[in-house]
Chain A
Amino acid sequence: MEVLRVEGVSKRFGGVYSLQDVSFGVSVGERLAIIGPNGAGKTTLFNVLAGQLSATDGRVYFFGQEITRLPPHRRARLGIARSFQISNLFFNLSVLDNTLLAIQGRRARSFQMFRTIETYGDMFEKAERLLSTTDLWEKRDDLVRNMSHGEQRNLEIILSLASQPKVLLLDEPTAGLTEGESANIFKILSGLGLETTVLFVAHDMDLVLNAADRIIVLHYGHIIAEGTPKEIQADPKVKEVYMGIKQLAYDAATH
């Protein structure tokens, strides 16, 4: 059963094509990595999948249902969650408030006007479970803008997990993090079961090669390669795109 199916998706900004005729499918429980040089269109692809942008051409299917024109909040309700490359948190609210907003997001409960939020103890228990994987539970009353970058990235991921999504789109989850912090993210990801399908964009090749079942390589908006980590590592096209000038110079120097 395919969770996501992307068919012929293109995205144009004025005269520039950010994505061109992108097609692929994702199976349930798969860990799919999207890699490529800067500007290849990875974040644009995520924006099209999550609904922040609408595709110029092509279609997107979620469990066989077409979602191409669905607004972001409807896709979130279906079970598509994402994290953002640049932390998109509520900086003037506390860690706890951030988490609670993520927990109640998909539910009608968010319209409740007559009881204070503290009376919904179950949400707080869930927040504790989520935040205790890091030391954020201790800092739950602190404002997010006072957190370190690593803590903010942690929270960023936690927010996208809070609704127990069916599809998780992680945009550069380990960007700017130290080894230890990245390892923590990796731990969180490994802990996810097969009921959650994960697509992630990353530059960290360690993470990609270890965590991904399959890899898609984007370049100037096209898919230039697709396959298992082993296949991608051996693919000359990928080497060329990543090595680029270095390889040409090497060849020129050694001939």
Chain B
Amino acid sequence: MGRAPAYRSKRGRLHKLIEIVPHLVIALLLLFLVPLQPTYIQSLATKILIFAIFAMSLDLLIGYAGIMSLGHAAFFGTAGYAAGILVVRYGVDNVWLGLGFGILLATLVAAVFGIIALQARGIYSILITFALGQLLYSFATKWRSVTNGDYGLWGIPIPALGLSSFEWNGTCYYYFVFLTFLVCYFCLYRLVKSPFGKSLQGIREGESRMRALGYNIWLFKYVAFIIAGMFAGAAGVLYAYHSGIMTPGDLAVANSGFVMLMAIAGGVGTIYGPVIGAALIITIQYYASILTPNRWPLILGGVFVLTIMYARAGVGVYFFKLWKRVLEGWKF
């Protein structure tokens, strides 16, 4: 009994080209162009890629499962602290163990939070995610023996890679983060095109119909929550090593809002959108904070408001559609 052949989309090769070319171009830029830039640009790029992973994970919730979460930084921060504590307080000098431990902890937290947050509907669910995030934030402030409280857990080095006579530097870490980003991007890309991903979209578009079709909505949302927490955790660990310090603020609603800004400005419901959003927001924040050290939140807020009003689908989506139109017009 042979398996039925895979489905070939009507849209054919042109559509594949439309999708692949920008990915290729950006990947090449990131691979070859960035390492040639001065250190501060490399550092910026590293930060962008880290937040890109963070924002993509949030998009899984907002743009695919239809869960609006105001506490997503809880997973990010937990993983970051976990990785930091492992290397600073326990001297475990292994970057893979750090990543593993951080992601594991973030996933556990997501598993617990998910059960509580998905109890309620609508606005109350949103409020719960916020409350849980802030709970973790106050944990981090109070549990001084472990987290060093408001001073932050500082002096976090990048643990050893495991290769003899290898020393970390900015460029090496950039490549490490880039590779991790590629893995995450690929995984999430496949995830949203899988039956599971399609199911999430269905839930976002019409819960009652999905129920009538036999889907256990709660279970899908819960699994999505955990997966999102997992990827946010990966971003958190990378961030801890990159910035060298974890503060309670990294867990707080302000950070959750910051990453939500990126996801929405870039375009939710796509995987590339949040990546563009992260690049946009972090670049604006960086240069604005240099130009006007005190007024950059104003600019950020303004950009956000403008995006919601005039480019609701997201800047990333807007550019993609533009690119699509250019290519379609050019071919015929």
Contact = CB atoms under 8 A, between A and B. Distances in A.
Task: Note whether A and B contact each other (Cβ less than 8 A).
Answer: yes
Interface stretch (B72-80, B131-139, B189-197, B320-328): B189-197
A118 B214 contact: no
Given A90-B206, A114-B190, A105 B214 contact: yes
B213 interface: yes
Interface stretch (A5-13, A57-65, A94-102, A177-185): A94-102
A72 B212 contact: yes
B196 A110 contact: yes
Given A114-B194, A117-B195, A124-B7, A90 B202 contact: yes
Contacts of A159: 209, 213
Interface in B2-18: 3-11
Contacts of B210: 73, 101, 105
Contacts of A90: 201-202, 205-206, 209
B199 interface: yes
Contacts of A52: 208, 211-212
Contact of A121 (B7, B193, B199, B209): B7
A26 to B, nearest CB: 19
Contacts, number: 123
Nearest to B217: A73
Interface residues of A, number: 45
A110 B206 contact: no
Interface residues of B, number: 34
A115 B199 contact: no
Interface in B197-244: 197-199, 201-202, 205-206, 208-217, 220, 223
B176 to A, nearest CB: 25
A93 B209 CA distance: 13
Contacts of B7: 118, 120-121, 124
Interface in A70-93: 71-73, 76-77, 81-82, 84, 88-93
Nearest to A140: B10
Given A100-B198, A109-B195, A110-B199, A73 B10 contact: no
Contact of B216 (A51, A73, A112, A141): A73
A35 interface: no
A146 interface: no
A118 B11 CA distance: 13
A206 interface: no
Interface string B159-202: 00000000000000000000000000000001101111111011
A112 B5 CA distance: 18
A93 B205 contact: yes
Nearest to A169: B212
Given A104-B195, A121-B3, A73 B214 contact: yes
Contacts of B9: 118, 141
A114 B195 CA distance: 9
A125 B2 CA distance: 14
A227 to B, nearest CB: 30
Interface in B103-160: none
A121 B5 contact: yes
Contacts of A19: none
Nearest to B198: A117
A48 interface: no
A159 B214 CA distance: 12
B61 to A, nearest CB: 15
| The 5 nearest A-B residue pairs measured at CB | A121-B4, A105-B213, A76-B214, A124-B7, A105-B214
Interface of B: 3-11, 190-191, 193-199, 201-202, 205-206, 208-217, 220, 223
